Amino acid sequence: MTGKPYRLPDDSGAGRLLDRSKPLSFTFDGKKMTGYAGDTLASAVMANGRRVMGRSFKYHRPRGLITMGSEEPNALVGVGTGSRREPNLRATQVELFDGMTSVSQNRWPSLDFDVGIINNHMSRLFPSGFYYKTFMWPKTFWHKVYEPVIRNAAGLGVAPDGVDPDSYEQVHVHCDVLVVGGGVAGLAAAQAAAANGKRVMICDETPRLGGIADISNELIDGKSQLDWVREQAASLTAADNVHVMTRATVIGHYHHNYLMIFERLTDHNPALAAAGAPRHRLWKVRAGKVILASGASERTMTFANNDRPGVMLSSAARTLVERYGVAPGLMGLIFANNDDAYITALSLKRSGVGIARIVDVRENPQSEIITAAQDAGIETMFGHAVAGVETSAGGKQIDAVKIAPYVKGRGRVVNEITVPADFIAVSGGWNPVAHLWCHNGGKLQWDDTLACFKPKSHDDDIAIVGSANGTMDLAGCLKEGYAAGEKAGGKARLKKPRVVVRKQAPVEPMWFSPATGKYNEGNKHFIDLQNDVTAADLELAQREGYESVEHTKRYTTLGMATDQGKNSNVPGMGIIAEATGKAVPEVGTTTFRPPYTPFSFGAIAGTQRGKLFHVIRRTAVYDWHTSQTSVMEPVGDWRRPYCYPQGGESQQDAINREILNVRNNVGILDASTLGKIEIKGPDAGEFLNRMYTNMFAGLKTGKCRYGLMMNEMGFLMDDGVTAKLADDHYLMHTTSGGADRIAAWLEEWLQTEWYDLKVYVTPVTEQWSQFAIAGPNARKVLEKLGSDIDLSHEALPFMAMATGDIAGFPVRLFRISFSGELSFEVATPANYGQDLWDKILEAGKEFGIAPYGTEALHVLRAEKGFIVVGDETDGTVTPHDVGMSWAVSKKKPDYIGKRSLEQAFLTEPGRKQLVGLATTDPNEVLPDGAPAVESGKLTGHVTSSYWSPTLKRSIAMALVKNGSERMGEKISFPLADKVIEAEIVDPVFYDKEGARQNV
């Protein structure tokens, strides 16, 4: 077909969508080509005499287009360059624009010569299940041999380079009625639903409403269907209560009529993107009612080498001629089992395309349109089937078609005749497009007359109409469309159009046409063109015992490509049925999952990229931190300074300096992220008693207590200091990451279990700035700032708190310490946070104050053996395991986790316990998570590990089996390149008596 002109002349009447006054130039695989405004990439490439559009996935056989739209399995292309290159687009759906760069896929080095074609000749070595059978062994080959080979040979398309330059949006909307599909049935449904003022959305995945009305031959109200759909589309577009969307594919239907629509705004016109329009929009729609009018897609009939370029669906051939003025070839042969193919024959004839004959498997079909075709001089041949094709140019050129008498169920063909032709238009009947029906649990049933699955039942408020419902005649489509629209929108007073019903001869199901010659030698019967699954593969799977269709699918990969088996599922099941002597519904049913078609990652991300990817929380001092350091650490949604390197200091040097400054002078930490929850009410004390493992009822006003929180399974989930502000008023501190979770946890218990308790829970984390001032000079700094609170050890001892003023700021002052040093945590309303911070730094200057970050905080606490919930615990660790049995009350009647803590498996010996580790080589720092191995068994793991500048050696904590009874023993931690030995020690490394914090 190369080089010949295939564009039909303007006066042939073909090419309805073309604007021949607007020529466009584009490239396909580097070759300059021309087309017209209105072309698809597929039609333009065909018009330039190029039929091969890609190579197949497994055998690298040359492939051309098969279908007319989004269901295309073969003609997959990459469009655009660099960061705007998009792979795996269906050429039948890509609208041509001037300057388009496009490439075919799965071919190397070129489409005409392809090294992967060797797979075709070795196909006996590539039966179904080949990957399972071959690449299982030896395991070591996977990494170095199999995977790189498979990845090079397979794969679909090439991903874009760099950052996506386009913008994307997501839109959330509600509507009363969503109509999916803008064909005749959908238009009727939308009109009826909108007639009483309901808010209606109607969307279609093509650039215009109308479905296949323009390639159909029936009349509505005496007018062509095309005129009728144009009128309907215009009136819907003009209606205020109707939102018409084109280039908009409904890709998923979810619970309670929640749907996703993928709208393409600029792909057909890059000028719009350049002007700043979003490229894609993902619409998330909650619809009161859904009407599916998604139409039907034509299916093929399988014969030997039915994948050759030039074999296409009858509807695709008709579309090429009628819409794009492109002849699929010079001489076509039509292969049919139904009347629809005769419309194609008449269309080709009218446009001057040669027709060899119509080969119809039916014995003696009779209808108006068959007579019309015969009257037009088209030769018909009944009771026959296409048995194969004769090709040249490495399979890229069809020369002739082999035809044999057809007897259903017969094996190898004996007699056959050969008819010259260079393309075949196949029509094996139509399958309802019921994908969306199935997404949320809609059931299908087999229809013997139509030989297809059609919708049966659904639990949602959803209707399905027209050919999507298996109603293949025009009158039925209109009737169902209006009826569903009226049911959704209320009885409408619409004048219904009239249609003259013309009788059609019934379809005769036909799945497989036998061939001459040896089976499967040079005679591949393709079922799934995208995944290269043949009839022989399906039969092999049956022989090997994959009786369930679900197993067969996974074994052969039938229907598991990006087209989700739109073309192959039903024929595949038909062939399995014939091979096993079962009826199709006995073989199984089929279902579909979202998305209906692939859609872009950009649409999924929407505007949530770059700075908008994740909203972060900032303390009042955030800007100051970022002016002093660039090393920020994510803690939940917060960003906290990790350390503050000075001058050319390394991070480790900065951390060491910050730690020693706390130990020797005074440091300041922004602890505002610490969770703060106010607990108020007459039963607040009792409530805390039940939430924490230890006793809170006896706590005196003005005092603080450390509390451990378990979940109902007895495992640690949070810890923190709670202060008593008044008899009925407490302030709970939680971990920074746990603040929201713990607030919700408290609420849940108050609302759902202990609703008799009179308690309010109010999260106030962001209302307060809170700073830890820690170190031997801490008191001096506060004294310099000036306060109405008596700061002496006697008046405000360790674990006491007071409210008052510091440097004129209203504060809550807590004498609590996570560093082991003399420490005050001062909280002030967040709006004063930055001011107070500045004042503290100023006052602290003469005492050597310096800010410290989260890493210093962690080392300081580890030197003291304080746990961090989430480091020392992992959701399977009890208070006993971390050596905190002292905090577990034996007196309280009830608290969360109490009973579980006594379950047999939590009390039996041999659990892991928290210990300290001192490496034999003090300079060796164990990695976090390093496993302890003894006698070949895993007996523990490192939970925290640091260099301690205070002790000038490494320190670590670990959970080790029976650890608390094994002080002084040595255990080893094998790593990838060495083994580290460590002694089990007390986890408190520094100031065991706690003298430093108690001054």
Residues making contact with other proteins (CB under 8 A): 254-256, 258, 286, 459, 712-713, 744, 747-748, 751-753, 755, 893-895, 898-900, 902-904
DSSP H/E element including 974: strand 970-974
Residue 826 CB neighbour total at 10 angstroms: 26
Closer residue to other proteins, CB minimum distance, 594 or 602: 594
Closer residue to other proteins, CB minimum distance, 1 or 259: 259
Closer residue to other proteins, CB minimum distance, 614 or 937: 614
3-state SS class at 989:
coil
Closer residue to other proteins, CB minimum distance, 487 or 892: 892
Quote the least distance from Cβ 712 to other proteins, whole Å: 7
- Look at the block and give the residue holding tokens 């009218």: 350
Question: Distance (Å, rounded) from C-alpha 338 to C-alpha 315?
Answer: 12
- Look at the block and give the residue holding tokens 């498996």: 905
Quote the least distance from Cβ 744 to other proteins, whole Å: 8
Quote the least distance from Cβ 595 to other proteins, whole Å: 15
All residues at 6 or more sequence positions from 871 whose CB lies less than 8 Å from its CB, including other chains: 943, 944
DSSP H/E element including 710: strand 704-710
Quote the least distance from Cβ 173 to other proteins, whole Å: 13
Q: Across the strands, what pairs with 829?
A: 768
Residue 642 tokens, joined: 């990790």
Closer residue to other proteins, CB minimum distance, 112 or 459: 459
Quote the least distance from Cβ 245 to other proteins, whole Å: 20
All residues at 6 or more sequence positions from 739 whose CB lies less than 8 Å from its CB, including other chains: 636, 673, 674, 675, 676, 677, 763, 765
Q: Which of 52, 93, 557 is nearest to 310 (CA)?
A: 52
List % helix, strand, coil for the chain (3-state, nearest 5): 25, 30, 45
Quote the least distance from Cβ 487 to other proteins, whole Å: 19
Closer residue to other proteins, CB minimum distance, 137 or 905: 905
Closer residue to other proteins, CB minimum distance, 221 or 902: 902
Closer residue to other proteins, CB minimum distance, 364 or 752: 752
Closer residue to other proteins, CB minimum distance, 459 or 783: 459
Closer residue to other proteins, CB minimum distance, 374 or 591: 591
Q: Which of 922, 923, 958 is nearest to 938 (CA)?
A: 958
Question: Distance (Å, rounded) from C-alpha 737 to C-alpha 869?
Answer: 10
Quote the least distance from Cβ 254 to other proteins, whole Å: 5
| Structural contact between residues 392 and 366, judged by C-beta atoms closer than 8 angstroms | no
Quote the least distance from Cβ 830 to other proteins, whole Å: 22
Q: Across the strands, what pairs with 235?
A: none
The alpha helices in 154-268, defined as continuous H runs, are 184-194, 225-238
Quote the least distance from Cβ 469 to other proteins, whole Å: 21
What are the C-alpha distances in Å from 801 to residues 701, 782, 815, 840? 9, 14, 6, 19
| Structural contact between residues 641 and 631, judged by C-beta atoms closer than 8 angstroms | yes
Quote the least distance from Cβ 255 to other proteins, whole Å: 5
Quote the least distance from Cβ 905 to other proteins, whole Å: 9
Q: Which of 384, 368, 381, 394 is nearest to 301 (CA)?
A: 384
Q: What is the CB-side half-sphere exposure of residue 55 using CA atoms within 13 A? A: 27
All residues at 6 or more sequence positions from 757 whose CB lies less than 8 Å from its CB, including other chains: 681, 683, 686, 687, 750
Closer residue to other proteins, CB minimum distance, 258 or 798: 258
Closer residue to other proteins, CB minimum distance, 243 or 741: 741
Residue 415 CB neighbour total at 10 angstroms: 9
Quote the least distance from Cβ 707 to other proteins, whole Å: 18
Closer residue to other proteins, CB minimum distance, 24 or 888: 888
- Rounded to an integer, what is the distance from CA 615 to the centroid of its chain? 21
Quote the least distance from Cβ 258 to other proteins, whole Å: 4
Residue 256 CB neighbour total at 10 angstroms: 9
Quote the least distance from Cβ 904 to other proteins, whole Å: 6
Quote the least distance from Cβ 711 to other proteins, whole Å: 10
| Structural contact between residues 605 and 282, judged by C-beta atoms closer than 8 angstroms | no
Q: Is 591 exposed, middle or buried (0-12, 13-18, 19+ CB in 10 A)?
A: middle
Closer residue to other proteins, CB minimum distance, 164 or 747: 747
Closer residue to other proteins, CB minimum distance, 131 or 755: 755
| Structural contact between residues 913 and 960, judged by C-beta atoms closer than 8 angstroms | yes
- Rounded to an integer, what is the distance from CA 976 to the centroid of its chain? 35
Residue 540 tokens, joined: 């092999």
Quote the least distance from Cβ 875 to other proteins, whole Å: 14
3-state SS class at 399:
strand
Residue 574 tokens, joined: 């038909």
∠ Cα 613 617 618 (to 5°): 125
Closer residue to other proteins, CB minimum distance, 258 or 519: 258
Quote the least distance from Cβ 901 to other proteins, whole Å: 8
Quote the least distance from Cβ 982 to other proteins, whole Å: 36
| Structural contact between residues 206 and 229, judged by C-beta atoms closer than 8 angstroms | no
Closer residue to other proteins, CB minimum distance, 712 or 928: 712
Closer residue to other proteins, CB minimum distance, 401 or 603: 603
DSSP 584-599: HHHH------S-SS--
Helix H, strand E, coil C: the string for 608-661 is: CCHHHCCCCECCCCHHHHHHHCCCEEEECCEEEECCCCCCCCCHHHHHHHHHHH
